[in-house]
């Protein structure tokens, strides 16, 4: 099973003359046809839903942008009649935590303490603040459905976590691994470009037993029975599921990216000049550097403050 789609039609008034219809579409893919962990796309960052039959609820990893809760509930209802009872937020940004309050049966919202503080400051959904916070590690459920949450330090923000399903050999890295692109650094919420490489390397070196990893954004086609495995070294390298080597390569990329920016800074180049001509290894040629200017600017500000 793959590609279940649910949409909610939203009526928008246009100067009193007409009504336009905007569809909010969420697509659900199974990660394994014999399992109960599902991948959700549309409406913000990637998300996951785990059907917890034993406890009679659904664990939702990230809730997407504000106003998308109904569409998420509709698509989940196509695979289970159980309510969403637990939310895990990988960090505080609205594209991942914006619909927290739109799930009426939720009992617990779990996030890192720094992410909870950011939500309280007005990030994410201020009406759906975390009820459970942690510092380094947190676990929930047992056996095949075990979920482990890890915090390794600042990067994208100072509250990003990695969600691991150890028995399913799956991990979700949120915007610590947004995709094949330059890192995004939110300094206002504790993000650190200088700490980012160390945080990513700690993830790679600490977590084991993961076969596939889901990035915070970007394509993640369903792959089951081995179908769709990426072809390493080709221009189709990111069309199948991502594996631990992809995360390790991204950790190398961020390390080299930060080093290139530091070198440009120390040589006196402006942020604009640095962004226009970063000295990066050829193996990163296919990375999307379209919005690299904002990342370079954030790194320059952090270097100024060092």
**218 or 71, higher pLDDT:** 71
* Residue 94: half-sphere exposure toward Cβ, Cα within 13 Å: 8
- For 41-98, how does the pLDDT look when each residue is reduced to its tens digit (9 = 90+)? 988 889 999 999 999 999 999 999 999 999 999 999 999 999 999 999 999 999 999 9
100-114, 171-185, 211-225, 282-296, range with the lowest pLDDT: 211-225
- For 181-194, how does the pLDDT look when each residue is reduced to its tens digit (9 = 90+)? 999 999 999 999 99
Instruction: Give residue 241's pLDDT.
Output: 65
**89 or 127, higher pLDDT:** 89
Q: Answer yes or no: is pLDDT of 234 > 60.
A: no
H runs (alpha helix) in 90-221:
94-97, 113-120, 196-206
The Cβ of residue 36 has, within 10 Å, a number of other Cβ atoms equal to: 18
Instruction: Give residue 32's pLDDT.
Output: 80
- Strands 108-112 and 132-134 come out as parallel
Confidence of residue 265 (pLDDT cuts 50, 70, 90): very high
Average pLDDT over residues 114-133: 90
**4 or 65, higher pLDDT:** 65
User: For a pLDDT cut of 90, what percent of the chain falls above it?
Assistant: 74
Instruction: Give residue 217's pLDDT.
Output: 86
Q: Answer yes or no: is pLDDT of 222 > 50.
A: no
Average pLDDT over residues 278-300: 93
The Cβ of residue 107 has, within 10 Å, a number of other Cβ atoms equal to: 13
Confidence of residue 1 (pLDDT cuts 50, 70, 90): very low
Average pLDDT over residues 202-214: 95
pTM of the model: 0.88
Instruction: Give residue 31's pLDDT.
Output: 82
Instruction: Give residue 22's pLDDT.
Output: 64
Residue listed under structure tokens 């394994």? 32
Instruction: Give residue 5's pLDDT.
Output: 57
Give the total residue count for the chain: 306
CATH H-level, domain 4-304: superfamily: Ribonuclease Z/Hydroxyacylglutathione hydrolase-like (3.60.15.10)
- Strands 47-52 and 57-61 come out as antiparallel
Instruction: Give residue 164's pLDDT.
Output: 98
Q: Answer yes or no: is pLDDT of 38 > 90.
A: yes
* Residue 234: half-sphere exposure toward Cβ, Cα within 13 Å: 7
């Amino acid at each position: 099973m793959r590609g279940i789609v649910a949409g909610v039609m939203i009526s928008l008034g246009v100067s009193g003359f007409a009504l336009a219809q905007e569809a909010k579409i969420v697509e659900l893919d199974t990660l394994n046809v014999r399992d109960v962990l599902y991948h959700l796309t549309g409406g913000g960052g990637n998300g996951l839903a785990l059907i917890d039959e034993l406890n009679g609820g659904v664990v939702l990893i990230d809730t997407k942008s504000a106003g998308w809760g109904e569409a998420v509930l509709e698509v989940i209802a196509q695979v289970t009649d159980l309510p969403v009872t637990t939310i895990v937020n990988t960090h505080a940004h609205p594209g991942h935590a914006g619909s927290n309050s739109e799930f009426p049966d939720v009992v617990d919202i779990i996030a890192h303490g720094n992410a909870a503080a950011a939500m309280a400051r007005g990030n994410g959904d201020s009406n759906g603040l975390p009820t459970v916070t942690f510092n380094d590690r947190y676990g929930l459920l047992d056996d095949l459905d075990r979920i482990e949450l890890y915090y390794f330090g600042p990067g994208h923000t100072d509250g990003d976590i990695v969600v691991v399903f150890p028995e399913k050999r799956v991990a979700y890295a949120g915007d610590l691994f947004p995709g094949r692109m330059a890192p995004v650094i939110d300094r206002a919420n504790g993000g650190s470009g200088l700490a980012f490489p160390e945080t990513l390397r700690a993830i790679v070196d600490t977590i084991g037993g993961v076969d596939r990893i889901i990035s915070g954004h970007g394509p993640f086609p369903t792959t089951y029975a081995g179908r769709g495995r990426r072809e390493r070294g080709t221009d189709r390298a990111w069309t199948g599921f991502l594996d631990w080597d992809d995360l390790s390569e991204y950790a190398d990329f961020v390390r080299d990216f930060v080093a290139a920016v530091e070198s440009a800074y120390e040589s006196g180049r402006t942020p604009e000049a640095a962004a226009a001509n970063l000295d990066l290894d050829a193996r990163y040629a296919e990375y999307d550097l379209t919005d690299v200017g904002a990342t370079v600017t954030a790194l320059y500000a952090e270097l100024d403050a060092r």
